[in-house]
Structure 1
Amino acid sequence: MPLRSLNAPDALDVLSSFDTVIDVRSPAEFAEDHLPGAVNWPVLSNEERITVGTLYVQTSPLEARKLGAALVARNIANHLDQWVRDRPRHWQPLVYCWRGGQRSGTMAWFLDQIGFRTTRLDGGYKGYRAQVRADLAIPPTDLRLTVLAGRTGSGKTRLLPALAAEGAQVLDLEALACHRGSILGGLPGQPQPSQKRFDSLLWSALRALDTSRPVFVESESKQIGRLQLPAALVGQQHGPGRVRRV
């Protein structure tokens, strides 16, 4: 029986139905961005991935595949021993790599052969990233945005947590960006995420909002620190009747 697979739109619609979302890319790829809630079971380390890639270009694809296969087999064995031994029979993982190819296919095959109902993300992270970009390009017209505006230092940023504490629904863009905006700069000891990671965090936050309730958000320009906000969201913030000055 062929391995089960889902494309990005279908997988994201049922993401919560999987017990574990497994990213088998290298730790560096995972750190840049990953699917919501994913765990990293790399089949190649950062160094191993570079070594195999260099061998592929400088020596031959065959030699690279032989080395890569040996490394992947050892790493998968370690993951199975460390993370899979105690999984129950009904455990259902979703596995992905960069494009849904050999790395995720190999891990998914092993899990499937053990007897777990395993699904591979067709198109991998690349397909997920394309879906995130497409969704963020659509103006969120279904959201009831109330935009808090005012001069720097007027307390807009402090108002959002206070509203959340009272049960209001907030979208804290500066918290997602790890930056206080304007001249106030970054948060001490908290580097900003990559643009891809910020997009994923924002995408997840938008999906979690209840469209039947108001959403309080601080007025922002097109950029927070070095991170770009989606033009569709910026435009929606500045719609008529949305801005409240504080």
Structure 2
Amino acid sequence: MSTRFETLSTFLDHGFDDVIDVRSPAEYAEDHVPGAISLPVLSNAERAEVGTIYKQVSPFDARKIGAAIVARNAAKHIAGPLADHEYRWRPLVYCWRGGQRSNSFASILTQIGWRAEVVEGGYQTWRRLVHEALYDAVLPHRLVLLDGFTGTAKTALLPLIEARGGQVLDLEGLANHRGSLLGGDPAEQPAQKGFESQLAERLARLDPSRPILVEAESSKIGRITLPPSLWALMTHAPRIEITAPIEARARFLAHRYEDVSADPARLSGLLDQLRAHRGHEVVDGWQKLLAEHRMVELSAALMTEHYDPAYARSRAAHDPQFAARVEADTLDGDGLEQAADRIMQAMRAI
């Protein structure tokens, strides 16, 4: 039995006990329905083998060999991760197009007594709904941007706002990337499609009638590109500026990037990438601070000599208008809590 989904919301609120992705691990890694369990009925190599037989020998031989492999892998899943499920367990299964892989696996589960159903159209249905939501439709959400210089704890403030009942959209979290030179390795980011699935799910869970706080970003986060619909909202959204003394920002940045400074060789290489932009003398000064493990001073130097000038140039070019400003004297625990309270007040007034 197959289930048809016409909207992203109905797919997300499917009502089944579990969602099972039976595609290959590589397909799952690129993108999948949020929350889906990966139980591949063909491995990456097995899928390639069956595909080759389909093209070079015959579809019949490919289906025969594929069926045997699917049965073996299904048996492993049933005896392994599915062994403890009770009689009335109700899973929703999908493959690439809702074809042989998902139907074969769902049929085996049904014969056992579980109430398995298949997604009509498979993963392609999910992908179509995500694309429609992010690229074909106008997003109805009310965004408010949290803007400010590097080191003003913008990302750290988002969960504090959420804890106070505010709505937030953490784009850096979805993109698995921390902003700035030290922000992260693009290789560790999700695929573009995977990011879009997470983004579409998050937006679907938010109330469009209430303001949503988003950290001010560029149209790209690492190697992830924001969909034009979201970028258009961000471009015209009101802004709250968060400010803090350079000393507080330096201490916060040094603490936030302790994992980066724990690998001096890697950090040294990152700093060297800025020689063409800031000159050898400036970068040599940073390298000296790094060699002496003076991380707070290095953070302050990076902000005053690199990040702040770049931010000032961007602000001069775009002339952003701020609906409110929040000043934080410190960015320690108490300072962040107080800043979050003021940001909540500012959001209510916008």
- Specify the alignment match of 1:243 in structure 2: 239
Closer/same/farther in 2, CA of residues 153 and 86 from structure 1, 3 Å limit: closer
Pairwise CA RMSD: 2.2
Unaligned runs of 5+ in 2: 243-350
Q: Secondary structure at the match of 2:4?
A: strand
SS of 1:7's equivalent in the other structure is coil
Give the secondary-structure state (helix, strand or coil) at the position aligned to 1:215: strand
Q: In 1, Cα distance between the equivalents of 2:99 and 2:148? A: 49
What is the aligned length?
240
The reply to whether residue 168 of structure 1 matches residue 166 of structure 2 is: yes
- Confirm or deny that 1:25 pairs with 2:29: no
User: Which residue type is aligned with residue 149 of structure 1?
Assistant: D
* CA shift digits 1:183-232 (9 cap, x unpaired): 443169x8100001100111111112233432110112211111111111
Give 1:116's aligned amino acid: W
Partner of 1:108: 106
SS for the counterpart of 2:87 is coil
5 Å-filtered alignment, 1:1-150, equals 3-7=1-5, 9=7, 12=11, 14-15=13-14, 17-137=15-135, 138-141=137-140, 143-150=141-148
Kindly indicate whether residue 219 of structure 2 is the aligned counterpart of residue 222 of structure 1: yes
Q: Report the Cα distance in structure 1 between the residues aligned to 2:209 and 2:224, rounded to whole angstroms.
A: 29
Specify the SS of the correspondent of 2:126.
helix
Instruction: Check whether the contact 1:178–1:187 (CA below 8 A) recurs between aligned residues.
Output: no
**Structure 2 counterparts to residues 162-241 of structure 1, below 5 A:** 162-186=160-184, 191-239=188-236
User: Following superposition, which runs of at least 4 residues in structure 1 exceed 4 angstroms of deviation?
Assistant: none
Please list every run of 5 or more consecutive structure 1 residues that lacks an aligned counterpart in the other structure: none
In the alignment, the residues of structure 2 paired with residue 231 and residue 212 of structure 1 have an alpha-carbon distance, to the nearest angstrom, of: 21
Query: Which residue identity does 2:7 align to in structure 1?
Result: P
- The share of aligned pairs that are identical, in percent, is 51
| 8 A contact 1:220–1:234 mirrored in 2 | no
1: distance between equivalents of 2:205 and 2:95? Answer: 25
Name the CA distance, whole Å, in 1 between partners of 2:220 and 2:172: 10
**SS where residue 238 of structure 1 aligns?**
helix
User: What do the CA deviations read for 1:151-183 (whole angstroms, capped 9, x no partner)?
Assistant: 334432233233234443211101111112344
The code of the aligned residue for 2:214 comes to V
Counterpart residue identity of residue 243, structure 1: R
Rg bigger for which structure?
2
What SS does the corresponding residue of 2:236 show, helix, strand or coil?
coil
The TM-score with structure 2 as length reference comes to: 0.64
Question: In structure 2, what is the Cα distance between the partners aligned to 1:20 and 1:38?
Answer: 7
Structure 1 residues 44-53 or 80-89, which shifts more? 80-89
Q: Give yes or no for contact 2:53–2:59 (8 Å, CA) kept in 1.
A: yes
Contact 2:5 2:120 in 1 (8 A): yes
SS of the residue corresponding to residue 233 of structure 1 reads helix
Q: Which has the higher contact order (CA 8 A, sep 6+)?
A: 1
Question: Contact between 2:133 and 2:139, CA under 8 Å: does it hold in 1?
Answer: no
Contact 1:4–1:118 under 8 Å retained in 2: no
How far residue 106 of structure 1 moved from its aligned partner, in angstroms, is 0.5
- Name whichever of 40-49 and 146-155 sits farther off: 146-155
Question: Secondary structure, in 3 states, of the residue corresponding to 2:7?
Answer: helix
Amino acid in structure 2 at the alignment position of 1:14? D
Letter of the 2:176 counterpart: C
In structure 2, distance between residues paired with 1:45 and 1:72: 10
Name the structure where helix makes up a greater proportion of residues.
2
Q: Which amino acid aligns with 2:21?
A: D
Q: Is the 2:24–2:41 Cα contact (8 Å) retained in structure 1?
A: yes
Distance 1:161 1:187 in 2: 23
Within 2, Cα distance between the matches of 1:115 and 1:158?
A: 48
With normalisation by structure 1, the TM-score equals 0.88
Q: Secondary structure at the match of 2:52?
A: helix
The answer (yes or no) to whether the contact 1:22–1:95 under 8 Å persists in 2 is yes
